[in-house]
Chains A and B, each alone.
Chain A
Amino acid sequence: MKTITNILLLAVSLVIIGCSKHHDSRIHVREGLGSDSLGSNIVTRPVAHAFSALVGDGIEITQAVTRRNDAGMLELQVDGYNSSYKTKRFRYRVEWLDEQGMLIQTKTSVWLPASAMGKSPFSLKAVAPRTEAVNFRMDTRKWE
């Protein structure tokens, strides 16, 4: 019994190692196009997808980068990753704050649509409409 368990563990490990190929992180090869992984293999896919849904995989924000452009406006780029296997459609709103942390009233702070495909990275960009903006806050919600 122990031997069978060991063999099974070894087989699973080999499959996992065999499936994990190191791509250039800047290039994303989608399911059905690249080599099979546990999540895309025809046998293991339903289990992986069900498990992902069960644990509630969703969108994760990896970093937010700001810089001031030539015109003196603050630019924001938010990078994230959709851990789910499903495309996540959502809305986001960026609000800009001045040096004192006061909200800058602007017509550009509206809910904008965004979408991230399953198991894919995504980026959102926003530009502050005033030079007074030094910071931001961002809100998200589900696409109705």
Chain B
Amino acid sequence: MKTTITRIITVLGILICGCNQGTENIDIMHDDAKAVMELDYRDFDQAASEMVQSMLGSGALKKDDGSRYVVTTARIINDTMQRIDTDQLMAKIEEELMNSGQVVMTSAVGGKGASDKMVYEVREIRDSDVGDEFQEDTLQKKRQLIAPELSIAGKIFQRNIRYDKKRQQVEYYFQLKVTDLKTGLRFWQKESLIGKRGSNKSVSW
């Protein structure tokens, strides 16, 4: 009897240990894991790559005089059912655009306000009594900021469609457009679609 109980405990122990899924780091360079219904990093990588290649391939960011455009990111609307920080998309795009040597991004103006609040905080210091504590020639002078010439605006939205009794189809649309702020003319635009089909039980929000 005692032997039987010991055996049962041993078998249960092995089963419990076998079921315990250990944590592992994702191989983000060659991730063979199955797709998920929600947007994951692979989807953002794909969308950003397609957007950047299209933008650079179009020649819309090339200035005739060889200088660089000053660009800002305007509002990127998240109209999906997921809580997404749109910087997950735009940080990659901004990085690649700057590295291309064709544009320079401004941190002074943006859809969410200045992306670096320090630009204005140092000016507040300059105009306040605290400014007297600083060497005058190290403080930022007025009219030094450069206004953006181009703006990148966009939207990510989602459509959920019932595919059949057991499956649903979720479509994610990434839309971006580049506008010349001086004339209001649109220089470039692209939509990138990522579609997923899976079980109704999978939740996409």
Residues in chain A within 8 A of chain B (CB atoms): 69-73, 75, 106-113, 125-127, 129-131, 141, 144
Contact = CB atoms under 8 A, between A and B. Distances in A.
A125 B57 CA distance: 10
B152 to A, nearest CB: 16
Interface residues of B, number: 27
Contacts of B30: 111, 141
Contacts of A107: 45, 48-49, 52, 92, 95-96
Contacts of A109: 49
Contact of B100 (A70, A125, A129, A144): A129
Report which residue of B30, B42, B45, B100 has the largest number of chain A beta carbons within 10 angstroms of its beta carbon: B100
The DSSP consensus for interface residues of chain B is helix
Contact of B57 (A73, A110, A141): A73
Report which residue of A75, A110, A131 has the largest number of chain B beta carbons within 10 angstroms of its beta carbon: A110
Nearest to A131: B101
Given A112-B49, A144-B33, A129 B96 contact: yes
Interface in B41-100: 42, 45-46, 48-50, 52-54, 56-57, 59, 61-62, 92, 95-96, 99-100
Nearest to A141: B30
Contact of A144 (B34, B96, B101): B34
B139 interface: no
B100 A69 contact: no
Contacts of B100: 73, 129-131
Contact of B101 (A108, A112, A130): A130
A112 B46 contact: yes
B96 A108 contact: yes
Report which residue of A75, A109, A111, A112 has the largest number of chain B beta carbons within 10 angstroms of its beta carbon: A111
Interface string B19-50: 00000000000111111000000100110111
B179 interface: no
B46 A110 contact: yes
